[in-house]
């Protein structure tokens, strides 16, 4: 089973890219972030033509997440239980024997900002929720745009990014608390080296110079760890005309 995640940074703009990539890569399950459109505008028909059923938690202009699957999805959750948040950033569903949680983690803007404090608070609430989900669903995948580079090897220039947003000690500690629940970075189960990135700034020819960060993650639970057979990042769509600033990341489970 191939599972992928992609921050498309506006589905209206990137729909041709999504259709092309999904048609080529053929993931069985695909999580999208930053669709930036309301539920009524979601292109169900176009994706159904590729064999996907979609569940959506959309939002006009900002945020918005979706899950595409070749199988039926059930037990849908669109909010962190007990956490009041108007931003559409989470979407959970059960697909076959898997529980899947799609996250669009808060960016945070700057470590001194209110948005950064919101990010840490949001991550705390997400971690508590996922702990509960793991108790009921041991076969769990948590994936999406985490807006956190887990380690320095996930950053093209760790010195220049030191304690900056996406790479700060506070954010990395929050991610480690999530992993400590019994989750594993599937990419690191397959690759030890640095130089692999999933996001590149639009400015300063960052993609051409491979000046990126690996912030799009697929985490698998203890029960799924031995089922991971391959993982990667498909950088090709980042080179297409009018691309998202993110590339799709994926994992294959037995």
Q: Which of 28, 52, 104, 156 is catalytic?
A: 104
114 is catalytic: no
**Residue 128 belongs to what H/E stretch?**
helix 114-136
Q: Are 102 and 67 in contact (CB under 8 A)?
A: yes
Q: For residues 113, 116, 120 and 121, what is the CA-based torsion angle, rounded to 10 degrees?
A: 60
Q: Is 202 a catalytic residue?
A: no
Catalytic residue among 28, 83, 110, 145: 145
3 state DSSP class of 157: coil
Task: Print burial letters for 85-117: b (CB count within 10 Å at least 16), e (below 16).
Answer: eeebbbbbbbbeebbbbbbbbbbbeebeeeebe
- In whole angstroms, what is the distance from residue 50 CA to residue 36 CA? 22
Angle made by CA atoms 53, 63, 35, in degrees to the nearest 5: 40
Annotated catalytic residues are: 104, 145
């Amino acid at each position: 089973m191939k599972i992928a995640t992609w921050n498309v940074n506006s589905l209206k703009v990137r729909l041709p890219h999504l259709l092309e990539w999904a048609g080529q890569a053929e993931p069985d399950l695909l999580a999208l972030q930053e669709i930036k459109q309301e539920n009524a505008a979601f292109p169900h028909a176009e994706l159904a033509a590729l064999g996907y059923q979609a569940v959506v938690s959309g939002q006009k202009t900002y945020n918005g997440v979706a899950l595409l699957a070749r199988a039926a999805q059930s037990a849908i959750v669109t909010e962190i239980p007990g956490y009041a948040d108007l931003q559409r950033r989470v979407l959970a569903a059960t697909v076959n024997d898997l529980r899947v949680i799609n996250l669009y983690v808060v960016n945070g803007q700057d470590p001194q900002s209110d948005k950064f404090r919101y990010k840490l608070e949001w991550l705390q609430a997400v971690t508590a929720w996922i702990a509960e989900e793991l108790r009921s669903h041991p076969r769990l995948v948590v994936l999406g745009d985490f807006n956190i580079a887990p380690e320095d090897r996930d950053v093209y220039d760790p010195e220049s990014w030191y304690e900056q947003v996406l790479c700060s000690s506070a954010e990395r500690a929050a991610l480690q608390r999530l992993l400590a629940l019994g989750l594993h970075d599937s990419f690191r189960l397959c690759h030890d080296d640095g130089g692999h990135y999933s996001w590149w700034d639009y400015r300063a020819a960052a993609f051409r110079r491979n000046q990126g960060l690996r912030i799009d993650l697929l985490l698998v639970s203890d029960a799924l760890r031995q089922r991971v057979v391959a993982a990667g990042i498909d950088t090709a769509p980042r080179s297409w005309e009018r691309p998202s600033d993110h590339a799709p990341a994926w994992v294959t489970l037995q």
